[in-house]
Amino acid sequence: MILLAALVAAVVPTSSGCVEQMYSRGIYPTIQRILTSLSNLAPVALFDLLLLGVVLGLVVWWVLVLRRPSTVRRARVVFGLARDTAILLAAGYLVFLLCWGFNYRRKPLRTKLDFDQARITSASLEALARTSVNALNRLHGPAQRRSWPALDAAPERLVDPFREAQARLPAGADALPARPKTSLLGYYFRRAAIDGMTDPFLLETLVNAEVLPFERPFLIAHEWAHLAGYADEAEASFVAWLTCQSGDAATRYSAWLFLYPHLVRQLDRETRRSIVSTLHDGPVRDLSAIDARLARASPVVRRQANRVYDRYLRANRVSSGIASYGGVVDLVLGARVEPAE
């Protein structure tokens, strides 16, 4: 029965309107506040303990059963173990959907905003790219004058802007911010160039410890946007960008530092050269430091991680896969969001 329920949940089409109304705006906000409030009590990543417990538990279970004397043929024992393991994994998938996964099936954010595709033009892209350069040049000094906070202190600057950003969005959920934590998966994060992730079971925010201080505000806001139910990567980045625009100089600088590369890579060569030449040395050094951090990743591990995540997104009905990251530029250019009342 559990296997059948998981299969039906995985393949049967769902109404995005129904998911939006009953889950994303209905039961999910309550689940999020309960799970995140509980996981916030722990100074360590509970996801690590959950992952270790599941992996070790399965290994020990298989070893004990296979080593136990039995008159049953070994093939039948292995088949029974495989069947029971599949049932457990199916149950885990159903828990994943209930705790967070159904957010992948909600209505696209652009359908709920004042969004116009006609606003996305080469001229508007160039204008925004020049705005990003001006913002980076202007904000770099003020951002550097105040020391960047440690990871656990970073949320202090983001809580109010995050709540304001949620209030500016249609039917925005008042999601509870999570305590940023490092993870035992940190080595894999570094090798795969993964900056952070949202624990989809206990709704924690996990951060790569090597992420640079000026990257953290935007990254934390991005993961908090996932907690608010914006599963799509472009949508989470857009919500994070809105969040940071309401913050202090350092927080705004972090957001523009994220958006700038997404903008300039879409420009033609001549325009890109013209815009890049106006960027001051401070932001150039910070962007180079980010590139150097990412360059320390393993190309093989990074490609494999991207491939796995692409398949994960497509399995959760994100048809564009990891290409969805780049959609944040379309949202910034095409959407109009009114200030919170």
Give the pLDDT score at 67: 84
Q: Cβ distance 250 to 146 under 8 Å?
A: yes
Hey, what are 175's tokens? 């999601």
Give the pLDDT score at 77: 83
Amino acid in the structure at residue 284: V
Hey, what are 260's tokens? 């700038």
Give the pLDDT score at 278: 96
C-alpha atoms less than 13 angstroms from C-alpha of 72 in its C-beta half-sphere: 11
Cα 230 to Cα 100: distance, rounded to the nearest angstrom: 10
Give the pLDDT score at 47: 97
Give the pLDDT score at 96: 96
Strands 180-181 and 205-207: parallel
As averages over each run of 10 residues, the pLDDT of the chain (341 residues) reads 89 90 93 97 96 94 85 81 93 95 92 91 94 96 85 87 91 85 94 95 96 95 96 94 94 96 92 95 96 93 84 74 75 84 54
Segments of 178-315 assigned E as strands: 180-181, 196-198, 205-207
